[in-house]
Structure 1
């Protein structure tokens, strides 16, 4: 048994949740994954994993062992990276996931310049508004907006804050009237971006007054671009990041309401796995998006 290989196989199987996924990630056969873990269990004289044809789970001993193995392998990777980061230029494949509207409006025009700066680097940029598990799905970096970032082992570097406005088309507001208070939204058609952390309740403040309004609109959608389309078509009102509709407001095709009230703010983060020494490609990209979003 190659002890180091067996430890890596065990860790990968645990983190990906199956022997098949571990085999694919490590470019091994499922039989080789099973053999390595079996030999590791014989070496430590304890059963580490409960496994059936349908699912796999850690035993109590396996859970304790996994925490130690993960820490040891991270330390080894960090030691290697601490020297490599001093010598290597950003290179290889960088996999990034980011929300659709924010990327198209702010980041994507600058991507060609970033790649020109690092000719040995390739970028696989997946635009997706859902909350991606970057460890399980193999991404190096995620750009993520959140009203309150959940606890995790990931590093989250704050980039900037998106303020929100309630807006709709002048035609809709002319037909239905402008709400004077947040509670008036109950009488309006409201479009909900269902992937946001505040889809079902919109919060407002004015001075010392705080109001929360439950929202249950006829149109719920997982794309903020689709929300904007509905507003432009005169369907209703929505709570949207100001950045996404700034040009429409300037042109007069959308208008804001409840201007005396401040709404929710969403912080935008660069999220990446916790490492003491970032690989050059991740460090270069994080520095790049910090630079870009500093202009927002």
Structure 2
């Protein structure tokens, strides 16, 4: 007889590409995952995975089984959630991903109240600055600062606006001077976000976006470190307001006007199209919009 926990283990391995990652996602040991996979293959009488010491791959039979098993697991989760919803509760697993710095500074604190209100939700939050895939990485939803592009059909919901500001420490400006135009920026040191597609600075000049590439003093893929490097006087940084509202307010960072507005962005939540009916995701979207505000509290 097919056991759901064995099918769930196989789906997690197929989506993550490794037993180690599947064990982490399911909060189980690798030996338990391996045992469940072996039990599933014995029960089905066929091989679903080819395993060596260096590589794990899905067999042709395994790929066919995965599509059905994934639907079954989703149906079970949806059925359980539907029963809970009929009792006026939201329940069951919810796995989301978000950028590291935004997650630490704003998303985490926003989620605490949501989980207190819905104690039967089992939330897994992965903080990662890389561009994770909703579909391929098996998430129920992702939060992203900027455009959402994925390898499958997704639904995107805007949570909040996000203005960017060009900032520097007073010590840096005293030493190197204050830029007054976009052209001046090319002669200054820049602290650059190193994630793909985000390295350039863009400003609205005469209704068009102008790209600027300053001299680079530091490249890093984390906004908090960029903010701290600016505080240390290493250079100019172009950062979302949610990183720097307190530092601008107390004067440790200065907002610089170069006669053109930096390109803005938004905070989005995206989820697979087949999760459109999820009451948990609807509730989470509404909760985060309410907590962040419009305009968001970090731009007050």
TM-score bracket for this pair, using the shorter chain length: 0.7 to 0.9
**What are the equivalent positions in structure 2 for 1:38-187 lying under 5 Å apart?**
38-40=42-44, 42=46, 48-87=48-87, 89-91=89-91, 97-103=97-103, 105-107=105-107, 110=110, 113-118=113-118, 128-131=128-131, 142-152=142-152, 155-187=155-187
Please report how far the alpha carbon of residue 186 of structure 1 lies from its aligned counterpart in structure 2 after TM superposition. 2.6
CA change 1:19–1:211 in 2 (3 A) is closer
Rg (Cα) greater in structure: 1
Tell me how far apart the structure 1 counterparts of residues 250 and 133 of structure 2 sit (CA, whole Å).
Answer: 38
SS of 1:190 mapped into structure 2:
strand
SS of 1:234 mapped into structure 2:
coil
Contact 1:6 1:37 survives alignment (8 Å) = no
Q: Is there any run of 5+ residues in structure 2 with no aligned partner, and where?
A: none
Q: TM-score, normalised by structure 2?
A: 0.75
Please report how far the alpha carbon of residue 96 of structure 1 lies from its aligned counterpart in structure 2 after TM superposition. 5.3
SS of 1:243 mapped into structure 2:
helix
Contact 1:192 1:227 survives alignment (8 Å) = yes
What is residue 240 of structure 1 aligned with on the other side? Answer: 239
1:16 aligns with 2:16: yes
What is residue 229 of structure 1 aligned with on the other side? Answer: 228
Tell me how far apart the structure 2 counterparts of residues 211 and 33 of structure 1 sit (CA, whole Å).
Answer: 54
Aligned residue-pair number: 290
Deviations 1:126-148 (A, max 9, x none): 65545556788887654332344
Tell me how far apart the structure 1 counterparts of residues 36 and 103 of structure 2 sit (CA, whole Å).
Answer: 41
Contact 2:15 2:137 survives alignment (8 Å) = no
Question: Which has the bigger relative contact order, CA under 8 A and spacing at least 6?
Answer: 1
What is residue 34 of structure 1 aligned with on the other side? Answer: 38
SS of 2:163 mapped into structure 1:
strand
SS of 1:179 mapped into structure 2:
coil
Worse-matched range after superposition: 143-152 or 132-141: 132-141
Contact 1:166 1:238 survives alignment (8 Å) = yes
Tell me how far apart the structure 2 counterparts of residues 20 and 172 of structure 1 sit (CA, whole Å).
Answer: 46
Tell me how far apart the structure 1 counterparts of residues 53 and 283 of structure 2 sit (CA, whole Å).
Answer: 42
1:194 aligns with 2:198: no
